[in-house]
Structure 1
Amino acid sequence: MPEQKVVVVTGASSGIGAASARLLAQNGYQVFGGARDSRRANPIPGVKFGTVDVTDEQSVAKFVEWVLSEAGRIDVLINNAGVSLLGPIENTAIPEAALVFDTNVFGPLRMIRAVLPSMRAARSGLIINVSSVLGFLPAPFMGIYASSKHALEGLSESLDHEIREFNVRVVLLEPTFTNTKLDLNAAHTEAPLGVYTAQVEATIEAVQDQIKSAPSPQIVAEKIRAVIESPYRLRQPVGGQATLLSRLRRFMPAGAVDRSLRKTFGFSKNRSS
Structure 2
Amino acid sequence: MQSKVVLITGGSSGIGKSIGTYLKSKGHIVYGTTRSKAKYPDFDDFALLELDVRNAETIAAAVAELIALEGRVDVLVNNAGVGITGPIEETPHEEIANAFAINFHGPLLVAKSVLPQMRKQRSGLIINITSIAGFMGLPYRGIYSASKSALEIVTEAMRMEVKDFGVKITNLAPGDFATNIAAGRFHVTADKESPYYEKYNSTLENINESVAHGENPVQVALAVEKIISSKSPKVSYKVGATSQRLSILLKKMLPQKVFEKLLLKHYKL
Instruction: Bin the TM-score by the shorter chain.
Output: over 0.9
Contact 1:5 1:30 in 2 (8 A): yes
Match of 1:134 in 2: 133
How big is each residue's C-alpha offset from its partner over 1:173-229, in whole Å with a ceiling of 9 and x where there is no partner?
Answer: 111111111146521136647100011011011112212221021111111111111
Structure 1 match to 2:202:
202
Q: Secondary structure at the match of 1:247?
A: helix
Contact persistence 1:12–1:21 (CA under 8 A) = yes
Distance 1:90 1:127, change over 3 A: same
Q: Residues of 1 paired with 2:20 and 2:266: CA distance?
A: 32
Deviation at 1:246, TM superposition (A): 2.4
Q: Is the 8 A contact 2:132 2:245 kept in 1?
A: no
> What stretches of structure 1 of length at least 5 have no aligned partner?
268-273
Q: Which residue of 2 aligns with 1:113?
A: 112
Distance in 1 (alpha carbons) for counterparts of 2:131 and 2:243 = 12
State the distance in 1 between where 2:124 and 2:248 align.
26
Number of residue pairs matched?
A: 265
Seen in structure 2, the aligned counterparts of structure 1 residues 95 and 259 have a Cα distance that, compared at 3 Å, is: same
* Structure 1 residues 29 and 126, CA gap change in structure 2 (3 angstroms): same
1:114 aligned counterpart, secondary structure: helix
For 2:151, the aligned partner's letter is L
Deviant stretches of 4+, over 4 Å: 190-193
Shift of 1:137: 1.1
Q: Which residue of 2 aligns with 1:233?
A: 234
Larger mean Cα displacement after TM superposition, 236-245 or 16-25: 236-245
- Name the counterpart of 2:153: 154
Q: CA deviation at 1:3?
A: 4.3
Letter in 1 for 2:253: F
CA distance 1:54–1:108, change in 2 (3 Å): same
Aligned to 2:38: 39
8 A Cα contact 1:8 1:32, kept in partner:
yes
Residue 64 (structure 1) shift: 0.3
Contact 1:22 1:44 (C-alpha < 8 Å) held by counterparts: no
Please list the CA deviations of residues 45-90 of structure 1 after superposition, one character each: whole Å capped at 9, or x if unmatched. 4x21111111111000000000000111111100001111111111
Structure 2: how far apart are the matches of 1:184 and 1:260?
29
Shift of 1:261: 1.4
Distance 1:227 1:183 in 2: 27
Q: What is aligned with 1:221? A: 221
The answer on whether the counterparts of 2:83 and 2:185 sit within 8 Å (CA) in structure 1 is yes
- Taking only aligned residues, the RMSD between alpha carbons, in angstroms, comes to 1.6
How far 1:241 sits from its partner (Å)? 3.4
Q: Is the 8 A contact 2:84 2:143 kept in 1?
A: yes
For residues 114 and 81 of structure 1, the distance between their equivalents in structure 2, rounded to whole angstroms, comes to 15
Change (3 A) 1:261 1:170: same
Native 8 Å contact 1:174 1:242 kept in 2: no
1:60-139 paired onto structure 2 within 5 Å: 60-139=59-138
Q: Could you tell me how far apart the structure 1 residues matched to 2:233 and 2:165 are? A: 15
Structure 2 residue runs of 5 or longer lacking an equivalent are none
Residue 262 (structure 1) aligns with: 264
Q: Partner of 2:32: helix, strand, or coil?
A: strand
